[in-house]
């Protein structure tokens, strides 16, 4: 929330307490003037003498002056104490009211209500800045919780599918003992493998989102070569040409997570390619203070409106070519996005010049 500059809370409290102090001092001076100086006033010049450079006024009857001063001063002090407590209580309540609203919002958030916002009015000071920061935190928490709930719902739905298929196959085997057991076992193995792959992908996605990455020097070009070598049999099986080009590109991060990131990108580029004769190009380079990895593949054009959804969990491009053998779990680019964020990088998706997809990953360059 944009606010106009205002007095700080410290300055407000300083001015307020100083005002009460000056008011108390003024009352004390009035008491001294009314109840003391009139007793010490005299017309006898001999009663005024100089002592050590200070004018000292000598009254005719000092006991009468004390008798008049003590009860008046006591009454004034009692009044100042009551007035100070009452005024301070009211003043502190008004000054600390924003903190009470923040505390109420925190209690509501702790009970599970993240939609409440403080929205404290007035000009900017420490309290209103605190309220704005708290509102921003609540907004981020609400968005994160909503994302986690959506992810959990999608994950449970995706996991329920292979489990339901396994249950159906087992029911068929129980009711039809004469069915080919080899075919049943092979289908169960395929379904079970898919469930395991999905579970591992979910764990890796959670790890990328929440684990602090251990930084170590990593050469993206070597990571790209290792991923390409691992996936070369898949590329040959699908008759896809796999090329790795570029220069040594230094960054800092987890070698295991970065290898999984590049492997996911290359695998997606292979299985989302043309039916036969496609190409996948992996290129690394250093650009200013960033380390850049690009993975480009041929294939059918990707609609622009589909690009923002590709990094969402369990989102699959409907126009992309896939086979049953590599149906995937819909977490490839979501895992890539999570790993890139964990390394303080950026992920850009763009349609290829002649079809397919161009993925650009930018990570902090150098060594941390």
Sorted by where each starts, the structural domains of the chain and their CATH numbers stand as 9-137 (no CATH), 145-210 (1.10.287), 216-364 (3.30.565.10)
Residue 301 DSSP one-character state: B
Structure-model confidence comparison of residues 118 and 21, the more confident one = 118
- Rounded to the nearest 5 percent, the helix, strand and coil shares of the chain are 60, 15, 25
The most confident of the ranges 48-62, 99-113, 158-172 is 99-113
| Confidence at residue 355, expressed as pLDDT on a 0 to 100 scale | 84
Neighbours of 259 (CB within 10 A): 18
The Cα 368–Cα 126 span in angstroms is 35
Q: Are 295 and 240 in contact (CB under 8 A)?
A: no
What is each CA distance from 85 to 17, 45, 90, 214, in whole angstroms? 12, 45, 9, 56
| Confidence at residue 178, expressed as pLDDT on a 0 to 100 scale | 73
Annotate 221-237 with DSSP letters as a single string.
Answer: HHHHHHHHHHHHHHHHH
Q: Mean per-residue pLDDT for 318-325? A: 43
Structure-model confidence comparison of residues 226 and 164, the more confident one = 226
Q: Specify the range with the lowest mean pLDDT, choosing from 128-142, 234-248, 310-324.
A: 310-324
Which residues, in sequence order, are bridge partners of residue 285? 292
Residue whose C-alpha is closest to residue 247's, from 210, 221, 228? 221
Q: Around 242, how many Cα atoms within 13 Å sit in the side-chain half-sphere? A: 24
| Confidence at residue 367, expressed as pLDDT on a 0 to 100 scale | 54
pLDDT of 368 over the 50 cut: no
pLDDT of 27 over the 80 cut: no
Q: Mean per-residue pLDDT for 76-100? A: 75
Structure-model confidence comparison of residues 314 and 361, the more confident one = 361
pLDDT of 180 over the 50 cut: yes
The Cα 362–Cα 365 span in angstroms is 9
Whether pTM > 0.85 for this model: the answer is: no
C-beta pairs of 287-290 under 8 Å, 24+ apart in sequence: 287/362, 287/365, 288/365, 289/364, 289/365, 289/366, 290/362, 290/363, 290/364, 290/365
Neighbours of 90 (CB within 10 A): 10
The Cα 190–Cα 203 span in angstroms is 20
Find tokens 């602090």 and name the residue: 212
Q: For the segment 103-135, what is each residue's pLDDT rounded down to a tens digit?
A: 888 888 888 888 888 888 888 888 888 889 989
- Collapse the DSSP code of 252 into the 3-class scheme (helix H, G, I; strand E, B; otherwise coil) and give the result: strand
| Confidence at residue 348, expressed as pLDDT on a 0 to 100 scale | 93
Angle between helices 220-237 and 255-271 in degrees, nearest 10: 30
Q: For the segment 258-269, what is each residue's pLDDT rounded down to a tens digit?
A: 888 898 899 889
Annotate 192-207 with DSSP letters as a single string.
Answer: HHHHHHHHHHHHHHHH
pLDDT of 272 over the 90 cut: no
The Cα 146–Cα 154 span in angstroms is 12
Structure-model confidence comparison of residues 205 and 262, the more confident one = 262
Cα–Cα–Cα angle for 43, 47, 50, nearest 5°? 125
Structure-model confidence comparison of residues 326 and 177, the more confident one = 177
Q: Specify the range with the lowest mean pLDDT, choosing from 22-26, 33-37, 252-256.
A: 33-37
The Cα 24–Cα 330 span in angstroms is 73
Q: Are 242 and 235 in contact (CB under 8 A)?
A: yes
- Collapse the DSSP code of 104 into the 3-class scheme (helix H, G, I; strand E, B; otherwise coil) and give the result: helix
State the distance between the two ends of the chain, measured CA to CA, in whole angstroms: 35
């Amino acid at each position: 929330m944009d606010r106009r500059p205002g007095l700080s809370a410290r300055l407000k409290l300083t001015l307020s307490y100083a005002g009460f102090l000056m008011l108390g001092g003024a009352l004390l001076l009035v008491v001294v003037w009314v109840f003391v100086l009139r007793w010490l006033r005299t017309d006898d010049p001999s009663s005024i003498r100089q002592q050590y450079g200070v004018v000292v006024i000598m009254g005719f009857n000092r006991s009468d002056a004390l008798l008049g001063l003590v009860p008046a001063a006591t009454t004034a002090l009692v009044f100042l104490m009551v007035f100070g407590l009452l005024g301070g209580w009211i003043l502190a309540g008004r000054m600390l009211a924003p903190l009470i609203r923040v505390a109420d919002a925190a209690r509501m958030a702790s009970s599970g209500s993240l939609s409440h916002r403080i929205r404290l009015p007035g000009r900017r000071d420490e309290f209103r800045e605190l309220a704005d920061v708290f509102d921003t935190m609540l907004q981020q928490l609400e968005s994160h919780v909503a994302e986690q709930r959506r992810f959990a719902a999608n994950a449970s739905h995706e996991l329920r599918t292979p489990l339901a298929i396994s249950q159906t196959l087992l029911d068929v085997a129980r009711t039809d003992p004469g069915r080919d057991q080899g075919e049943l076992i092979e289908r169960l193995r395929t379904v079970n493998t898919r469930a395991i792959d999905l579970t591992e992908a979910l764990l890796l996605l959670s790890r990328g989102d929440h684990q602090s990455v251990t930084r170590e020097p990593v050469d993206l070009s070597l990571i790209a070569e290792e991923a390409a070598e691992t996936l070369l049999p898949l590329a040959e099986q699908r008759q896809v040409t796999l090329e790795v080009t570029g220069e040594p590109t230094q960054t800092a991060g987890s070698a295991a997570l970065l290898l999984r990131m590049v492997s996911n990108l290359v695998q997606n580029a292979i299985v989302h390619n043309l039916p036969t004769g496609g190409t996948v190009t992996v290129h690394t380079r250093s650009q200013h203070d960033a380390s850049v990895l690009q993975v480009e593949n041929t294939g059918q054009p990707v609609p622009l409106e589909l690009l923002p959804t590709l990094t969402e969990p369990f989102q699959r491009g409907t126009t992309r070519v896939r086979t049953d053998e590599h149906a995937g779990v819909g977490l490839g680019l979501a895992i890539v996005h999570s790993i890139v964020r964990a390394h303080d990088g950026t992920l850009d998706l763009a349609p290829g010049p002649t079809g397919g997809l161009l993925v650009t990953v930018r990570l902090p360059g150098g060594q941390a």
